[in-house]
A and B are shown apart, each in its own frame.
Chain A
Amino acid sequence: MPKDSHNTYQIKISGQVQGVGFRPFVYNLALKYQIRGTVSNNEDGVAVYCNSSKKKVADFLSDILNHKPETAIITTYSIIDLPYIEYNSFEILPSEINKKINIPLTPDFAICNNCKTELSEAANRRYHYAFTTCVHCGPRYAITNKFPFERAHTTMDDFIMCDTCKMEYKAPTNKRFHSQTNSCSSCGIQLQLTTNSAEVITKNQIDCIDDVASFIIKGNIIAIKNTSGYLLCCDATNRDAVITLRKRKKRPHKPFAVIYSSLEAVKKDFNPSIHEERMLQSGVAPIVILQNTKKTAIAVNAIAPNINQTGVMLPSSALLELIMQKVGRPIIATSGNLHGSPILSEEKEARKKLEKVADYFLNHNLNIQFPQDDSVVKFADSHKLVLRRARGLAPNYIEAKAISKEPVLAMGAHLKSTFTFVPNTQLYVSQYFGNLENFDVLERYKTAIDQYIELFQTSPKTILIDRHAQYESSILGEELASKIGAKIYPIQHHKAHFASVLGENQLFTSNKKILGVIWDGVGLGDDNQVWGGEFFTYHNSKIERLTHFEYYDWIANDKMSTEPRLALFSLLNDKNLVKNKFSETEWSIYTKTITKNTLITSSVGRLFDAVASALDIVDVNTFEAEAAIQLENCASSYAGNHFTDFLDGFDYDKIPSQYIIETITKTYRKGGAKEQLAYSFIYTLAMAIIKIAQKNHIDTIACSGGVFQNSLLTEILIKEAEKQTLILNLNRELSPNDENISFGQFMYHQHIKN
């Protein structure tokens, strides 16, 4: 034995390093370097102990860092000298357990290309096996019971590997070496196809896929249990089938997503940018919102009525991959649930709730611990806008380190609920749950909180809630705090949004003043009015309200958020201009109530609504944010360059909400073009940000809030900020909408000392 290997080193690597094939990767590398020792998962990540020379171990480590498995994310690593211990071979050790867990929860990964190839090779063991996975792909978070990521800690534990699978698992050179989700058709997960009255049609795995494909082609609706929950599917080229699905799901207008079999198939219908292509093909496999083209051959008017865009994704699992290959045309895939309820994942419940929606059910016997919707992503040029953060993205938040002294639970908002749990130095931002006013969503949200407390064996000592005491999350937070004796702090909604974007961009330590531009629909302000068009400053750990959109009347409670015509009515001085949008009774009631009204708002969300109504685009929403989406759609179709900044020459002490709306309404009535006015409106808003930054001599801007889901606004803003050499910060891994509130609450609590 050469002298120089008489050293023992310990290498520690943390980040997203479990459930991504890290140990087998290190193992094979160790063989290559002829290094002896061990590798194991532990409470902080991966630990390697080895005998090696100093030079060799350095090369070994840099090889690890440079060639890590594709889905691994390394946040920190260390190497130290240890007293000599002799190793005789290199081994993968089972995980150390019973310690406090301090690692990311690995998200689910879409099927990798290798596995895809194996599926279609007739001679391969995994030919047509619908649950083919490897160390690089497959469900992770969805099936997690416990830490660390070991088969015994997942619901895969219900399946005992056959001898061949076991061999693969044990063979260092096999690509399924140490693959925790390893299984095959003889030992693994079984499909079953039934009618909606639970009659079994077939249990033959290949027939299941063939039959589902032919049912889809015939125009039927199938509930397919994917590895993250049920999807409702039908032929996307069959208008009648799509409309039937709409009727049965009681979802008349809200867009559906479409699965394509491959990127090539997507390209036949759309012109995705390089960023969009990469996103579609990534391990996240989210829904990517693409611009429709002339060649788009699916039933677009039924899939996304009046919207010039389609949510597109590629198969996220072997099961969907096989179905897509067989169907040979794009299919609708929408979360398997009833109107507003959470995605279903349990066979009995799915049958009960979806029996009138689906004609057939494709079930399987893998239990899902954390059901998740598909994530949704859109691009504003190269900037990735997360619209819904769920499968493949949740729940890790690796980029921000938590420095909390004690465990914290942040409850988030109400309509787009998430929670953030910080049991240790890792930060977990849950998947999107939905509207907490829905009983099933609230139950799902509660259950997940309990699961996290159980998973980490840690109870929160501090609970953070929104200042709006009527959010179900606030009510639950209060209940929880008094039950477990935790401290509770309410945090203002828009300040939490601001803290989210500050946190995502590591700006809390900045010594320059930062302008926070927080625009959304509704949040309860410090003055008990409805905020939503806020400008803050952040400096020296303090957030202050700099200015805001001029207040206008908030009328008719939540109804104002669903009827853009009410926002327009409220904003116009000359209300008679919109009399035609109301019935006589409505008119006489609203004209009276507005004179007695006391609730006022600075909401920019409602300003978008008002413009949509002023331009006769949408007067009453049929689904959430419809007006904003349609308005963006309209503005995006403007191809000219005769747009105006309506506030050019204004002093920007406050943004004159009424003036903007009056101007647009009157110009439109005089014959102004919708598209041009819609574009000018968004341009005016973008310029307001630039002007306010300049007026206040601030060069760093941070924007958040639901309004920044608007990709046109974001695009204009990116361009204009660059022109003026202003530094623009946006939400990155999190959505700008209320999904980021829980994270923002935590960041606010950590860093703000108002």
Chain B
Amino acid sequence: MPKLDFDIITLGHGSGGVLTNKLLDSGVFDLLTNDILEERHDGAIINMNEKIAFSTDSFLVSPIFFPGGNIGELAVNGTVNDLAMCGAVPKYLSLSFILEEGLKMTEFWEVLVAIKFACENANVKVVTGDTKVVEKGKGDKIFINTSGIGNVHPKANIGKTRIQIGDKIIVSGNIATHGMAIMSIREGLEFESTIQSDTTNLNHTIINLIEQFGNDIHLLTDPTRGGIATVLKEIALTSDFGVDIFQRDLPMDDQVASACELLGIDPLYVANEGLFLSFVDASIANSFLEVLQNDKNGKNAKIIGSVVDTHPNQVILESSIGGKRVVSMLPGEQLPRIC
């Protein structure tokens, strides 16, 4: 971290004036440097050919530092992954901060460094950005918005309409990890568990799969907020097929599973970060799985279910003892339903 003559963020840092420049000059630019950013123009001018994917996401997470990562890399990976889910090679990001007055400069710096490394890992550049500061109490340390663009891979052909009856659904790894990592901190259980967030960039993994399986990959999606249940239900609702998944096939870390069990939390609804679901043609499901399992982001990948025509719009979880459970989208927090 560079030497600074301030150690907390003040309202002035968001004024757009001297203090803002000071904040940026004193390292932000050095840290995230690239040609386009160095232009310091009102916006970035970039050359993009062919089909482009464009995505945006805002990140609010409390606490901003958690086992396995912080809000900075979450912000980069989140948008990178959203682009990857479109079958795109992520290229450029915008980065906007809303900082809360009083944020420690050291914390801000740690987030920035995480952003830098996340960008390097994902091979993307921050080309434009913004910083605002809100009064103490009006924010929660740091809010980040990132938007990103990238070229859609020529072999990618991804969309909800491409899903077919019989498609296999593959999850790339252990579920519910990120959400439970955050939960363990929030509930003060950090000493009870070593659950780490799974946040990571998935773009290289995805592009590799697209290159090999191209057209047979029908849909890619990352089950972040609302977990696997919400994503699957959303997909089922906007189509005329149903989804069957099998409880015994859901990969889960033992610690995560027992934390969920103890706290009465349904892992299907818990947020994931470095995880994706693939709907692929049944004919390639096994070879797809094999390739994925050889990737560092797919060691625990598993086929968890399939697309069916028997119960349109419904997602059904078959339990280990054979019962079939209806999976719905939960409006809001889980509330007890059992009498």
Where the two chains meet, the residues of A that have a C-beta atom closer than 8 Å to any C-beta of B are 250, 338-341, 413-416, 436-440, 442-443, 468-472, 475, 520-524, 530, 554-562, 585-586, 588-590, 592-593, 595-596, 599, 605, 624, 706, 737-738
> Of B93-101, B273-281, B323-331, which stretch is located at the interface?
B323-331
Q: How far is the CB of B151 from chain A (nearest CB, A)?
A: 40
Q: A470-B330, A593-B189, A605-B339 are in contact. List 13 more A-B contacts (CB 8 A).
A: A341-B324, A437-B326, A438-B326, A439-B316, A443-B311, A469-B332, A470-B332, A522-B338, A557-B263, A557-B334, A558-B338, A590-B262, A593-B263
| CB closest residue in chain B, given A416 | B339
Q: Across the interface, do B339 and A470 meet the contact criterion of CB distance under 8 Å? A: no
Query: What is the CA–CA distance of A413 and B186 in the complex, to the nearest angstrom?
Result: 32
The verdict on A556 contacting B263 (CB below 8 Å), with A439-B326, A530-B336, A592-B187 known, is yes
| CB closest residue in chain A, given B265 | A557
| CB closest residue in chain A, given B184 | A589
The verdict on A438 contacting B263 (CB below 8 Å), with A522-B338, A596-B188, A737-B339 known, is no
Partner of B323, one of A341, A524, A589, A738: A341
| CB closest residue in chain A, given B322 | A338
B1 in contact (CB, < 8 A): no
B46 in contact (CB, < 8 A): no
Residues of B contacting A471 in the complex (Cβ-Cβ under 8 angstroms): 337
Q: How far is the CB of B186 from chain A (nearest CB, A)?
A: 7
Considering only residues 136-152 of chain B, those with a C-beta below 8 Å from chain A are none
Residues of A contacting B334 in the complex (Cβ-Cβ under 8 angstroms): 470, 557
Residues of B contacting A599 in the complex (Cβ-Cβ under 8 angstroms): 335
B321 in contact (CB, < 8 A): yes
Q: Across the interface, do B339 and A738 meet the contact criterion of CB distance under 8 Å? A: yes
Q: List 14 A-B contacts (CB under 8 A).
A: A250-B322, A339-B323, A341-B324, A439-B314, A471-B337, A475-B328, A520-B339, A521-B339, A557-B336, A559-B261, A561-B336, A562-B338, A593-B189, A596-B186
Partner of A559, one of B186, B264, B332: B264
Residues of B contacting A469 in the complex (Cβ-Cβ under 8 angstroms): 331-332
Q: Across the interface, do B321 and A470 meet the contact criterion of CB distance under 8 Å? A: no
B30 in contact (CB, < 8 A): no
Query: What is the CA–CA distance of A752 and B258 in the complex, to the nearest angstrom?
Result: 46
Residues of A contacting B323 in the complex (Cβ-Cβ under 8 angstroms): 338-341, 438
0/1 string, B191-207, CB within 8 A of A gives 1: 11000000000000000
Q: 8 closest pairs, A vs B, by CB?
A: A559-B264, A557-B264, A556-B264, A521-B339, A439-B324, A561-B338, A592-B188, A558-B338
Query: What is the CA–CA distance of A558 and B187 in the complex, to the nearest angstrom?
Result: 18
Q: Across the interface, do A586 and B262 meet the contact criterion of CB distance under 8 Å? A: yes
Q: Is the interface of B mostly helix, strand, loop or mixed?
A: loop
Q: Across the interface, do A585 and B262 meet the contact criterion of CB distance under 8 Å? A: yes
Q: Across the interface, do A468 and B324 meet the contact criterion of CB distance under 8 Å? A: no
Partner of B324, one of A440, A556, A592, A738: A440
Residues of B contacting A737 in the complex (Cβ-Cβ under 8 angstroms): 339
The verdict on A339 contacting B322 (CB below 8 Å), with A471-B337, A596-B186 known, is yes
Interface centre among A414, A439, A471, A706 (most CB of B within 10 A): A439
Residues of A contacting B332 in the complex (Cβ-Cβ under 8 angstroms): 469-470
Query: What is the CA–CA distance of A413 and B261 in the complex, to the nearest angstrom?
Result: 25
Q: Across the interface, do A589 and B335 meet the contact criterion of CB distance under 8 Å? A: no
Q: Across the interface, do A558 and B336 meet the contact criterion of CB distance under 8 Å? A: yes
Partner of A468, one of B189, B322, B335: B335
Query: What is the CA–CA distance of A69 and B83 in the complex, to the nearest angstrom?
Result: 74
Q: Across the interface, do A250 and B321 meet the contact criterion of CB distance under 8 Å? A: yes
Query: What is the CA–CA distance of A586 and B331 in the complex, to the nearest angstrom?
Result: 29
Residues of A contacting B326 in the complex (Cβ-Cβ under 8 angstroms): 436-439, 442, 472
The verdict on A470 contacting B338 (CB below 8 Å), with A339-B323, A592-B188 known, is no
Query: What is the CA–CA distance of A416 and B338 in the complex, to the nearest angstrom?
Result: 10
Q: How far is the CB of B191 from chain A (nearest CB, A)?
A: 8
Query: What is the CA–CA distance of A401 and B119 in the complex, to the nearest angstrom?
Result: 70
Q: Across the interface, do A560 and B336 meet the contact criterion of CB distance under 8 Å? A: yes
Query: What is the CA–CA distance of A314 and B283 in the complex, to the nearest angstrom?
Result: 56
| CB closest residue in chain B, given A592 | B188
| CB closest residue in chain B, given A469 | B331
| CB closest residue in chain B, given A590 | B262
Partner of A589, one of B186, B189, B314, B321: B189
Residues of B contacting A520 in the complex (Cβ-Cβ under 8 angstroms): 339
Query: What is the CA–CA distance of A589 and B191 in the complex, to the nearest angstrom?
Result: 10
0/1 string, B111-143, CB within 8 A of A gives 1: 000000000000000000000000000000000
Query: What is the CA–CA distance of A585 and B331 in the complex, to the nearest angstrom?
Result: 31
Query: What is the CA–CA distance of A468 and B258 in the complex, to the nearest angstrom?
Result: 28
Residues of A contacting B331 in the complex (Cβ-Cβ under 8 angstroms): 469-470
Q: Across the interface, do A560 and B337 meet the contact criterion of CB distance under 8 Å? A: no
Residues of B contacting A560 in the complex (Cβ-Cβ under 8 angstroms): 264, 336
Residues of B contacting A605 in the complex (Cβ-Cβ under 8 angstroms): 339
Query: What is the CA–CA distance of A294 and B262 in the complex, to the nearest angstrom?
Result: 42
Interface centre among B263, B331, B332, B336 (most CB of A within 10 A): B336
Q: Across the interface, do B263 and A414 meet the contact criterion of CB distance under 8 Å? A: no
Partner of B192, one of A470, A557, A585: A585
Residues of B contacting A439 in the complex (Cβ-Cβ under 8 angstroms): 311, 314, 316, 324-326
Query: What is the CA–CA distance of A561 and B339 in the complex, to the nearest angstrom?
Result: 7
Query: What is the CA–CA distance of A554 and B337 in the complex, to the nearest angstrom?
Result: 12
Residues of B contacting A521 in the complex (Cβ-Cβ under 8 angstroms): 338-339
Query: What is the CA–CA distance of A561 and B336 in the complex, to the nearest angstrom?
Result: 8
Query: What is the CA–CA distance of A438 and B324 in the complex, to the nearest angstrom?
Result: 6
The verdict on A524 contacting B328 (CB below 8 Å), with A589-B189, A592-B189, A595-B188 known, is no
Residues of B contacting A443 in the complex (Cβ-Cβ under 8 angstroms): 311
0/1 string, B72-102, CB within 8 A of A gives 1: 0000000000000000000000000000000
Residues of A contacting B311 in the complex (Cβ-Cβ under 8 angstroms): 439, 443
Partner of A706, one of B186, B189, B322, B339: B339
Residues of B contacting A250 in the complex (Cβ-Cβ under 8 angstroms): 321-322
Query: What is the CA–CA distance of A436 and B325 in the complex, to the nearest angstrom?
Result: 9
Q: Across the interface, do A588 and B264 meet the contact criterion of CB distance under 8 Å? A: no
Residues of A contacting B330 in the complex (Cβ-Cβ under 8 angstroms): 470
Partner of A472, one of B188, B263, B324, B328: B328
The verdict on A524 contacting B335 (CB below 8 Å), with A341-B323, A472-B326 known, is yes
Interface centre among A557, A706, A738 (most CB of B within 10 A): A557
Query: What is the CA–CA distance of A556 and B339 in the complex, to the nearest angstrom?
Result: 14
Q: How far is the CB of B113 from chain A (nearest CB, A)?
A: 30
Q: Across the interface, do B264 and A438 meet the contact criterion of CB distance under 8 Å? A: no
Residues of A contacting B337 in the complex (Cβ-Cβ under 8 angstroms): 414-415, 437, 468, 470-471, 522, 558
0/1 string, B297-328, CB within 8 A of A gives 1: 00000000000000100101000011111101
Interface centre among B259, B262, B334 (most CB of A within 10 A): B262
Query: What is the CA–CA distance of A58 and B326 in the complex, to the nearest angstrom?
Result: 59
